[in-house]
């Protein structure tokens, strides 16, 4: 029932299933949105998501109803939301491409390249991915 905007840091968003299994659905960085499903459907979602900060995180949060009112009052807010959702769709498509029809080593290399692009910090010895991942 709330929309979240990550102002700084990195967050892992996962889906928790009834069986207790937890699957990562997105790795989010600065200026990423989540919690927009209730905004789009107008009611509370029956899906349960879990978010964990990988780094120190600063977030802004607002009730979905307030965000909806802001969109109705100013269409540029809706455009910003659409840009954020488009970015998430592209990230999801990239992850699907990374994880399908490849052997394990190719998937790992592709995933590391995505992490370098989205979370990498260039340095003297290469690119550092400062996230604790298992």
Per-residue pLDDT tens over the stretch 83-110? 888 888 887 887 777 777 678 888 888 8
| Sequence-separated (6 or more) residues with CB below 8 Å from residue 22 | 14, 15, 16, 50
CA 3 to chain centre: 12
Whether the CA torsion 68, 69, 70, 73 is positive or negative: it is: positive
Residue 125 has pLDDT above 70, yes or no: yes
Domains and CATH numbers, the chain: 2-126 (2.60.120.10)
Mean pLDDT of the chain, nearest integer: 84
Residue 57 has pLDDT above 90, yes or no: yes
Confidence (pTM): 0.72
- Residue 27, pLDDT score: 87
Residue 38 has pLDDT above 70, yes or no: no
């Amino acid at each position: 029932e709330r929309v979240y905007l990550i102002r700084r840091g990195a967050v892992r968003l996962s889906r928790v299933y009834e069986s207790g299994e937890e699957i990562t659905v997105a790795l989010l960085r600065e200026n990423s949105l989540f919690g927009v499903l209730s905004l789009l459907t107008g009611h509370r979602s029956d899906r349960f998501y879990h978010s964990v900060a990988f780094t120190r995180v600063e977030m802004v949060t607002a009730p979905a109803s307030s965000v909806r009112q802001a969109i109705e009052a100013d269409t540029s807010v809706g455009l910003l939301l659409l840009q954020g959702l488009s970015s998430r769709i592209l990230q999801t498509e990239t992850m699907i491409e990374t994880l399908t029809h490849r052997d394990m080593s190719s998937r790992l290399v592709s995933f590391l390249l995505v992490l370098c692009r989205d979370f990498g910090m260039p340095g003297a010895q290469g690119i550092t991915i400062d996230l604790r991942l298992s």
